[in-house]
C-alpha cells in the first residue's frame, strides 16, 4: 500500500480534517470516475449549475468547474448561461446517450468516492491515535450494572485491548447491556468516506441509519474534503436475522453499486453479534466466516464479478449467546477470541440489589418484606432469577397503578398481579 494513499490532513481548532483536493489527481481516484459521476448527475438533474454539482459531488467548485468544462468540451454538456461564479448547464443528446450507458453499468450518483487505499490508511491512522481506555472509564460505564468484579475486569481488558469478547450465560442477565455500556468507553469521533471506489465499482459506506454525524468544527470552509464525514464511533448490532450473505457486499442490481456490510460500517466502533447461534445459518458456518478477520484484522469481500477485495476489520467485536458455548463454538474459534466472559444468573442478594436500585430510580421504595415475598415466589415456582426481571416487574406494577389512576407503590398484591401478567398464571 502506497504511503501517498493517506489523504492530506489539515490541523484546525477542532483537530485534523481531510484537506479538500484542488484537482482530479489529488482525489486519489481516476478522473474518469469523477467525469462519469458528473455526467450522470447532469442526466438526472436538468439545469445543473457549477455550485449545485459541487454540493452534490462534495467537491470544491474549482474542481467541479474543471470537470464540467471538460464535459462541455467533449460536447456532452451545453452551457445555458452564467450562474454566480460558475455556469448553468444542460446535458446534450450525445451526453444523454452516454449517461444512459453509464447508468446501466454503475448507477451510483452522490458524493464522489475515495480510494479503497485511502479509506484503509485513514482508518488505521485514526485507530492508532485513539486514547487508551482506563479502568476508571470501564468502572464508570458499567456503574449502572451490578456485576461481579471479575466480570468487570475481563470486560475492561477486552475493550481496552481492542480484542474480541465472547459472552455467554442465561438470557436476561445483562449480556446485551454490557455490550451497549462497553461501547460508551470508546470516546471520540472518526472520519469515514461517503463512498469508496474499487476500479469502476462504487461501495457506499456512510449510512445515516448506522452512523451519527457530528460537526467537524471547520464550518463550510472549502479546506474540508466533504467526501469524508465525521461521525461518532459507530455501534452496530446484528441479531438472529444475520446471514452469511449479510456479511458480504450487497450488490444493488437495480442501481448497479454496492452497499457495505454491517461489520464494515462498524469499523472504528463496536459490532455486537447478539443471540449468537440463533441465526438462520449453522453456527459453524458463521464461525468459519470470522476466522480470518479475528486472526489478521482484515476481511475479504467479493464483488459480483468474483473479484475479492481486502478491507480492514478494525472494531470492537462482541459476541453474546444464551446457548451453551460448547454447542455453538469450536476450539479453533475460541482460540482466536480475545476474552471470554460468562455472566451468570444473579444470586438472591444481587437480585435484591437490582430490584432496590431500579425501584429507587422510579422514586418508589421496595421493602425487605416485599422482596422476601418475591424471592419466595421465585422459589416456590421453581423459576430461576434473571437480572432483567426486577425492571420488568416494576414496570408492570407501574402499568397497573397508572391504569387505576393510583400513585406508584410496590406491595405484594400489586407484584402478584404483575407476576401473572409477566409470567402468566402458570410458571412456564
Convert the pLDDT of each residue in 271-330 to its tens digit. 999 988 888 888 888 888 888 898 899 999 999 889 999 999 999 999 999 988 888 888
Asked whether residue 222 carries a pLDDT value surpassing 70, the answer given is no
**Residue in the structure block whose three cell numbers are 464508570:** 140
**Looking at beta carbons, which pairs linking 415-421 to residues 24 or more positions away fall under 8 Å?**
415/370, 415/373, 415/374, 415/377, 416/377, 418/393, 418/394, 419/377, 419/393, 421/396
Question: Looking at residues 358-362, what average pLDDT do you find?
Answer: 95
Which burial class, exposed, middle or buried, applies to 178 when counting CB atoms under 10 A from its CB (0-12, 13-18, 19+)? buried
Nearest to 351 by CA among 364, 366, 341: 366
CA distance 428 to 422: 11
For strands 250-252 and 257-259, give the pairing: antiparallel
pLDDT on residue 268: 96
Asked whether residue 204 carries a pLDDT value surpassing 60, the answer given is yes
Question: Looking at residues 187-209, what average pLDDT do you find?
Answer: 95
CA distance 248 to 263: 9
Share of the chain above pLDDT 90, in %: 75
Cα dihedral 97, 99, 103, 104 sign: positive
Asked whether residue 428 carries a pLDDT value surpassing 50, the answer given is no
pLDDT on residue 1: 41
Amino acid at each position: 500500500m502506497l504511503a501517498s494513499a493517506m489523504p492530506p490532513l489539515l490541523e484546525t481548532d477542532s483537530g485534523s480534517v481531510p484537506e479538500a483536493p484542488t484537482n482530479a489527481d489529488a482525489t486519489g481516484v481516476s478522473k474518469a470516475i469523477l467525469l462519469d459521476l458528473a455526467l450522470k448527475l447532469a442526466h438526472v438533474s436538468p439545469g445543473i449549475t457549477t455550485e449545485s454539482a459541487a454540493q452534490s459531488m462534495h467537491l470544491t467548485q474549482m474542481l467541479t468547474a474543471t470537470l464540467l468544462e471538460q464535459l462541455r468540451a467533449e460536447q456532452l454538456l451545453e452551457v445555458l448561461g452564467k450562474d454566480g461564479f460558475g455556469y448553468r448547464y444542460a446535458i446534450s443528446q450525445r451526453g444523454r446517450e452516454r449517461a444512459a450507458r453509464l447508468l446501466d453499468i454503475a448507477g451510483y450518483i452522490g458524493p464522489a468516492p475515495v480510494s479503497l487505499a485511502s479509506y484503509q490508511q485513514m482508518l488505521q491512522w485514526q485507530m492508532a491515535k485513539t486514547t487508551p481506555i482506563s479502568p476508571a472509564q470501564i468502572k464508570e460505564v458499567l456503574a449502572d450494572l451490578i456485576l461481579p468484579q471479575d466480570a468487570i475486569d475481563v470486560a475492561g481488558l477486552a475493550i481496552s485491548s481492542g480484542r474480541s469478547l465472547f459472552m455467554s450465560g442465561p438470557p436476561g442477565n445483562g449480556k446485551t447491556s454490557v455490550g451497549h455500556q462497553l461501547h460508551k468507553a470508546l470516546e471520540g469521533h472518526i472520519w469515514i468516506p461517503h463512498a469508496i471506489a474499487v476500479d469502476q465499482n462504487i461501495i457506499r459506506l456512510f449510512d445515516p441509519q448506522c452512523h451519527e454525524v457530528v460537526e467537524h468544527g471547520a464550518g463550510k470552509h472549502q479546506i474540508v474534503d466533504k467526501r469524508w464525514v465525521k461521525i461518532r464511533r459507530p455501534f452496530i448490532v446484528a441479531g438472529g436475522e444475520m446471514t452469511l450473505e449479510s456479511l458480504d457486499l450487497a450488490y444493488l442490481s437495480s442501481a448497479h453499486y454496492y452497499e457495505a456490510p454491517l461489520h464494515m460500517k462498524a469499523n472504528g466502533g463496536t459490532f455486537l453479534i447478539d443471540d449468537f447461534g440463533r441465526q438462520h445459518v449453522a453456527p459453524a458456518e458463521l464461525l468459519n466466516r470470522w476466522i480470518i478477520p479475528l486472526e489478521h484484522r482484515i476481511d475479504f469481500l467479493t464483488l459480483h464479478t468474483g473479484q475479492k477485495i481486502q478491507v480492514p476489520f478494525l472494531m470492537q467485536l462482541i459476541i453474546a449467546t444464551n446457548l451453551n458455548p460448547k454447542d455453538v463454538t469450536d476450539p479453533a474459534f475460541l482460540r482466536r477470541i480475545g476474552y471470554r466472559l460468562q455472566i451468570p444468573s444473579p444470586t438472591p442478594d444481587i437480585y435484591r440489589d437490582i430490584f432496590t436500585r431500579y425501584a429507587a430510580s422510579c422514586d418508589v421504595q421496595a421493602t425487605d418484606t416485599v422482596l422476601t415475598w418475591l424471592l419466595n415466589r421465585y422459589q416456590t415456582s421453581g423459576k430461576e432469577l434473571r437480572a432483567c426481571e426486577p425492571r420488568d416487574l416494576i414496570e408492570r406494577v407501574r402499568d397497573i397503578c397508572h391504569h387505576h389512576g393510583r400513585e406508584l407503590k410496590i406491595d405484594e398484591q400489586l407484584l402478584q398481579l404483575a407476576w401473572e401478567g409477566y409470567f402468566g398464571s402458570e410458571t412456564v
